[in-house]
Amino acid sequence: MTNTDDFIWRLVKGCVQLGLVPNINNTVNMVPVDHVARCTTLAALEHLQESCAMSVLHIAAKPRFTFNDMFSSLPRYGYQVEQCEYLEWRRKLERHVMEVQDNALFPLLHFVLDDLPTSTKGPELDDRNTQALLELEPVETGMSVTDGVMGLYLAWLVQVGFLPQPELSSGPPLPRLEVTQGMVAIGRNRV
């Protein structure tokens, strides 16, 4: 489940609607939920120990995932989008919203038209405590979003009606998901 009012997913949908993605190589601290759950569980169990001295546990993607990594998954899974420089993308998005008056990014237009490459620079997190905690229970979980994980995310967003089906069939198909009845996205925008 995800919140479709989240900036990341509005950005993805807005780019699909526009047919363009901006060239932004900033990192996104985006990690799979199973990794977050593992870290949270280990932290909870460790805090039950009297010897626990860790107070801050940042969870950071390893390796770091970039906006360009995220955007490159769109054409790979069949969405018709082209990459362009941010200033061109911004100009075309503004024109698109004025003409069509419908884009997932409309509520965030002030933010994305300001200077997205500057405003989306995330801090480098000191995750030494989390890494030490993970060494206590060395079970492998994905610590970053991969192209395959993006495929799962896109498939789910299509399944709940947030994104349209991809137009092209040249790349790999979106993964098939087992969907339970009543599965819906949290958020307001639908296809």
pLDDT of 8-26, one tens digit each? 999 999 999 999 999 999 9
φ/ψ of 186, rounded to 5, equals -90, 125
Mean pLDDT, the chain, rounded, equals: 85
Residue 1 predicted with pLDDT over 80? no
Q: How many C-beta atoms surround the C-beta of residue 165 within 10 A?
A: 9
- pLDDT, average across residues 39-55: 70
Residue 103 Ramachandran class (φ > 0 left, ψ -120 to 50 alpha, else beta): beta
Sign of CA dihedral 184, 185, 189, 191: negative
**Per-residue pLDDT for 74 more than 90?**
yes
Give the 3-state secondary structure of residue 130. Answer: helix
Interval 131-146 mean pLDDT: 78
Of 171, 181, 151, 172, nearest to 163 (Cα)? 151
- pTM of this prediction exceeds 0.95: no
Q: What phi-psi label fits residue 19: left (phi over 0), alpha (psi between -120 and 50 degrees) or beta?
A: left
CA pair distance 135, 87, nearest whole angstrom: 44
Whole-number pLDDT of residue 40: 84
Share of the chain above pLDDT 90, in %: 36
Residue appearing with tokens 């018709």:
80
Is the per-residue pLDDT at 130 higher than 90? no
CB burial of residue 129 (10 Å; 0-12, 13-18, 19+):
middle
Distance CA 40, CA 25 (A): 29
Model pLDDT, residue 111:
86
**pLDDT interval class at 57 (50, 70, 90):** confident
- Structure tokens, 26: 């900033």
Is the pLDDT score of 185 beyond 60? yes
Rounded mean pLDDT, 115-130: 84
Please enumerate in sequence order all residues whose Cβ is within 8 A of that of 185, keeping only pairs 6 or more positions apart, or say none: 1, 2, 3, 4, 157, 160, 161, 162
Evaluate if residue 47 carries a pLDDT over 90.
Answer: no
